[in-house]
Structure 1
Amino acid sequence: MAIKITRNEFRPISRRRFLSTAAGAGIGAIAMPYLSRAADRPLVTHGVQSGDVSSDSGVVWARADRASQMLVEVSTSESFANARALPPIAALPESDFTAKMLLENLPGGQGIFYRVKFRDLAHTSIESEPVVGRFRTAPSDRRDVSFVWGGDVAGQGWGINPDDGGMLTFSTMRKHRPDFLLHSGDTIYADGIISSEVKLADGKIWKNVTIPEKAKVAETLEEYRAAHKYNFLDDNVRAFNAEVPIFVQWDDHEVTNNWSASKELPAAYKERNIALLAARAARAFHEMYPMRESIVEPGRVYRSISYGPLLDVFVLDERSYRGPNGPNLQETYGPDAYFIGPDQMAWLKRSLLDSRAMWKVIASDMPLSLIVYDDAANRRGSEAFAQGDGPPRGRELEIADILRFIKTAPIHNTVWLTADVHYAAAHYYNPNKAQFQEFEPFWEFVSGPLHAGTFGPNELDNTFGPEVRFIKAPGEGKQNLPPSEGMQFFGHVKIDGASGQMTVTLRDRADVALWSTTLDPKLG
């Protein structure tokens, strides 16, 4: 029988550990009137998260089940000795009872423990049980850096299946104790229904945990929020989130498949206004993740995150500013060819130029040279950068401009990380084999899905001279493989503090190292 979760049935995991931690910190002796109303206490409904961590700060997130104040304590000790209590912030219905707080003035390269609870606004003597999370701040010196990346979660109807262990890739990634997860987008599939059962090719049944809101495509703000909260029901995801910070970006499925201003919505949508759907989706996305929010442009996704002297991460937004998903064959650059757009391009150039980190990771939610059709059935229209073999056209003009800038600046040690296509690959970009040659050689690494159907491989566009050095994909006739087939992928990056070498490894959910390479930094 499939498991169905209603919104009031979820309870946090590891209750015993959290209670023992709280008692060890000296808060076990609580007044009897407080305990007598235990059944009325608020709940931390979906675990805790941290994100956008720097050398002296990080953002923490949690959600309550009612109007509350979020109370956060922070310490460098798991015992919470000498913990610092921060001023409370509100968690209100307007934000779906979510709240996030920037923790500042933290020591660099240090393990940070935080404890979150909620105080009922209607009965201020009543507080939730505390939930504990941890992260490590970015180093101020050249210590080793380790992180994982990937995208695509709960896609194609493959949801949380307890019989398959849930979203197992998150458990595998957690074992590596990474400094952070770079989430490359498609954090949810707002356009994807999660049915209670899916019949597999061998006749077996895949059984999903379900919630009412995932029985249809997301259209309302509440339905978009619910799609994110669905993923947080998974034990592996919550355990991962409590220990590993997230640097998150979005792609198309946070709204609907292949969305752009020209999107023609399928019949499943009663709401026909794509701009309105995107606005609701963006609000839910920002509510549900521990992102640093821009005061210059509220709702901005693109940003840079400095992670010590060895690494800067430049998170792109390839959705909010793109032109229509049309043919994109323009010979000159203009609004119809926008993909990241002029303002974001100018920001990226400035930020790369200002970076003093050894490695510059450019987080692109879509690959540079893999062809993705807007209308896959008829092989028409453009969803990604690639426009087919030949010199740069349309959206490719942006990549040509960026690559030319990186060469002439000059800026060394850039690496592109991406997901989107639901398979693993390593691409080496060789100007000697490119149609456009004004760039220095560089690497692009592709990973994912973290928990979705496996597809591919895609056609390769020769404009920028990509060479496929590794690929792991199901191949023709074996598309949309379920997670139980094991072809779920993530990437793992290690930067050696002493040598500065970057080792990139592509792994599957069983933690098999499929392929690896070590890159030497260019100095000076």
Structure 2
Amino acid sequence: MNMRNILYGFVVLFLFSCHSPEDMEGPYFGNGIKNGWADQNSIVVWTRLTKNKEAFFDGQPFKEISKEQMLDLAENKNIEAIYNSQIPDDLSLKDMEGYCPGIPGEVQLQYFETGQPDKAVTLAWEAVDQNRDHTFQWKLEGLNAGKSYQLKILSRPVGKEQVSDSIFGSFLLPNEKSSSDAVKFCVVSCHDYNRRDDIKNGHKIYPSMDKMAPDFYVHTGDIEYMDKPNPYAMTEELMRFKWNRLFALPFQRSFYNKYTSYFMKDDHDVGFDDSYPGRDYGIVPFERGLEIFDEEQFPSYKKRYKTIRWGMDLQIWIVEGRNYRNQNYLEDGPEKTIWGDQQKQWFYKTVENSDATYKILITSSPILGPDRKNKNDNLSNANYAYEQTELLSFIKKQKNFFIVNGDRHWQYVTHIEGTNLWEFGCGAGADVHAGGWKQDDFRPEHKFLRVKGGFLTVDVERQGNKPSLTFSHCDVNGNVVNRQNFTSTN
């Protein structure tokens, strides 16, 4: 067990001894805590109140329907048929595997800098938002850069004084640019409840990453697949069902409670594969799918793109690939975009103003690829050649600049010889989820290729006062399967 986990356990015991919840019926924290968008002095904390302590994982399985049936239901928007075709006769959604209903109630947040419980801040009780799936979010500001914080959230029924449940969490804020401390972070992509590799607990990558005790974590999107079966989530209620079920898994819930996180989204989180404006999924408009993700199920941040400095040697750029795009089928040219002009101009300006030793762009989908010929949804595809060229022309002028991406279901490293262009694909979150590329299709630009699941770790440290950057691909158990190191001469 690492020191961070030992410290976390001691703090939980301390907090718990100070205030134990009463033995009563809910509301509970069946979906745990998530945080997001941390910078030197602020972070957003998210939680949800649930009727039960755990999801109903012993529920009934959904009926499987064909992809053709799904497409017909999505086009005809028949709500009754969407449910009747997937839920067995005489049953309802509450009888199904993973049901985790929300419930009205109130929440209170307490937090303090690690080691200073006597300076704990206790916020007012707040009612969760029933119109946003019984969730609530706090934006904590005025925090201290480079410090870790402990938090505790209490719940109680509306109008009651008795505490019904409590949950504990922690997070670490980025250090100031003057700090040369080492930084480690993990990057993942492509989860799915139905393709988890530990049936009872979730995805094995989470305890594997926990053992590494990263400073922060990035999920690049496709966190859940609305357009995959069991059920096909063609209504808002079914979308929420899939989010609530996934976040009730013990591995996910335990990890998110403890680590600073940045959550990005991609097409499957919103609805259809390769979704774009006008491509609605069942009765859920594309724009509503964005709202459910951005404002309800994850920590909120209006722009959805942000750059964060993590000490002297690292700065990351998290970019948004769905909110600002136009339609995939448009003719390629200056007006066709994934990023949108405002986001691109922000990216150029902030990169040029950065004096970080290493600059890492984290994107939900590839820019270099290579990708399959039949794909038409990302910047490595031929139908986005104009914007890809525009962005790569800028990146080629930068020193110590690297691309990290999700979306693709295989792990890879791509380097274009004769340039400074490097791209690291983190791969899918489970072996059962890997695919879409043949292991023997090793292209000239590939420096590494593995059609298996896992995650990517990134380490920035100083060796003899010389900055070093290391990308490590890991399997689902945390074993390193590939490592690429860069040493700066700056």
**Superposed pair shares fold, TM > 0.5:** yes
CA distance in 2, matches of 1:381, 1:457: 12
How far 1:489 sits from its partner (Å)? 1.3
Partner residue, 2:224? 188
What SS does the corresponding residue of 2:352 show, helix, strand or coil? helix
AA at the equivalent of 2:458: V
Mark the CA change 1:17 to 1:509 in structure 2 (over 3 Å): closer, same or farther.
same
Does structure 1 residue 470 correspond to structure 2 residue 478?
Answer: no
Q: CA deviation at 1:347?
A: 1.6
| Equivalent residue number for residue 488 of structure 1 | 453
What is the CA-CA distance between 1:248 and the residue it aligns to?
1.2
What SS does the aligned partner of 1:121 have? coil
SS of match in other structure, 2:467: coil
Aligned to 1:209: none
> Partner of 2:345 in structure 1?
346
State how far apart, in whole Å, the 2-side matches of 1:316 and 1:443 are: 17
1:225 to 2:205 alignment? no
* Match among 15, 24, 35 for residue 22 of structure 1: 15
Question: 1:232 Cα deviation (Å)?
Answer: 1.2
Using the alignment, how far apart are the partners of 2:434 and 2:375 within structure 1? Answer: 22
| CA deviation vs aligned residue, 1:410-433 (integer Å, no higher than 9, x gap) | x32211101211111111123x4x
- Of residues 457, 467, 472 in structure 2, which corresponds to 1:500? 467
| Residue identity opposite 1:277 in structure 2 | P
User: Deviation of residue 459 (structure 1)?
Assistant: 11
Secondary structure, aligned partner of 1:449:
coil
Choose which of 63, 67, 72 in structure 1 pairs with 2:104: 67
1:256 aligns with one of 239, 263, 272: 272
Distance 1:421 1:322 in 2: 19
CA deviations 1:285-309 (Å, max 9, x no partner) are 1245553522xxxxx3222223233
Tell me how far 1:186 sits from its aligned partner.
Answer: 0.3
- CA drift of 1:318 comes to 1.7
1:169 counterpart = 2:195: no
Distance 1:468 1:104, change over 3 A: same
Secondary structure class of the residue paired with 2:248: coil
Aligned to 1:456: 436
C-alpha distance in 2, partners of 1:470/1:364?
19
Deviations 1:233-285, CA, capped at 9 Å, x for gaps = 2111111111112111111101221112464x7xxx643xxxx5322222221
Instruction: Spell out the pairing of 1:273-352 with structure 2 (5 A cutoff).
Output: 276-287=284-295, 290-294=298-302, 300-326=303-329, 330=332, 332-334=333-335, 337-352=336-351
The equivalent of 1:101 in structure 2 is 138
Q: Which residue of 2 aligns with 1:398?
A: 387
Q: Please tell me whether the aligned partners of residues 369 and 466 of structure 1 are also in contact (alpha carbons under 8 angstroms).
A: no
Deviation (angstroms), 1:406: 3.6
| Cα pair 1:42 1:127 within 8 Å, conserved | no
Contact persistence 2:459–2:469 (CA under 8 A): yes
> For 2:488 and 2:297, how far apart are their aligned partners in 1?
32
- 2:188 is the counterpart of 1:154: no
Other-structure match for 2:59: none
**1:130 and 2:166 correspond:** yes
Structure 1 Cα separation of the partners of residues 401 and 265 of structure 2: 21
Per-residue deviation at 1:522? 5.0
Instruction: Write the distance in 1 (CA, Å) between the matches of 2:155 and 2:247.
Output: 18
Q: Helix, strand or coil: the match of 1:326? A: coil
- Out of 136-145 and 73-82, give the one that drifted further: 73-82
Query: 1:9-60 CA distances to partner (integer Å, 9 max, x unpaired)?
Result: xxxxxxx999844343x335x8xxxx4xx32442122111222222222221
Q: Distance in 1 between matches of 2:297 and 2:489?
A: 35
SS in 2 for 1:130: strand
Partner SS for 1:501: strand
Secondary structure class of the residue paired with 2:195: coil
CA deviation string 1:149-185 (max 9, x = no partner): 0100017x4247436x531111111111001111111
What is residue 142 of structure 1 aligned with on the other side? 180
One-letter amino acid of the counterpart of residue 348, structure 1:
F
Aligned partner of residue 427 in structure 2, secondary structure: coil
Give the Cα separation in 2 of the matches to 1:74 and 1:86.
Answer: 9
Q: Which residue is equivalent to 1:517?
A: 484
**Kept after mapping to 1: 8 A contact 2:412/2:450:** yes
Distance in structure 1 (CA, Å) of the matches to 2:400 and 2:476: 29
Partner-residue secondary structure (3-state), 2:19: coil
Output the amino acid matched with 1:493: V
Residue of 380, 383, 402 corresponding to 2:377: 383
Output the CA distance in 2 between the equivalents of 1:173 and 1:239.
12
| SS of the residue 2:117 aligns to | coil
Q: For residue 55 of structure 2, what is the aligned residue in structure 1?
A: none
Per the alignment, residue 39 of structure 1 pairs with 24
Contact 1:184 1:250 in 2 (8 A): yes
Residue 395 of structure 1: SS of its match in structure 2?
helix
Q: Are residues 1:419 and 2:419 paired?
A: no
Letter of the structure 1 residue corresponding to residue 45 of structure 2: V
1:444 is matched with: 423
What does the per-residue CA deviation read over 1:210-230, in whole Å, with 9 as the maximum and x for residues that have no partner? Answer: xxxxxx311222222222222
Q: Distance in 2 between matches of 1:442 and 1:73?
A: 45
In structure 1, stretches of 5+ residues that fail to align are 1-15, 195-215, 295-299, 374-378, 389-393, 433-439, 474-486
- How big is the alpha-carbon RMSD for the aligned residues of Structure 1 and Structure 2? 2.9
Structure 1 pair 128–358 and aligned structure 2 pair: CA distance change class (3 A): farther
In the alignment, is the contact (CA less than 8 A) between 2:37 and 2:261 conserved in 1?
Answer: yes
Distance 2:123 2:287 in 1: 32
Distance 1:21 1:441, change over 3 A: same
Give how far 1:89 is off.
3.6
| Aligned counterparts of 1:44 and 1:381: Cα–Cα separation in 2 | 40
Other-structure match for 1:367: 366
Structure 2: 5+ residue stretches without partners: 1-8, 51-102
- Paired residues, number: 424
CA displacement, residues 316-367 of structure 1 (integer Å, 9 cap, x when unaligned) = 1222232332385x3x422xx3121222211211221232322221111111
Distance 1:369 1:326 in 2: 20
Task: Give TM-score, length-normalised by structure 2.
Answer: 0.79
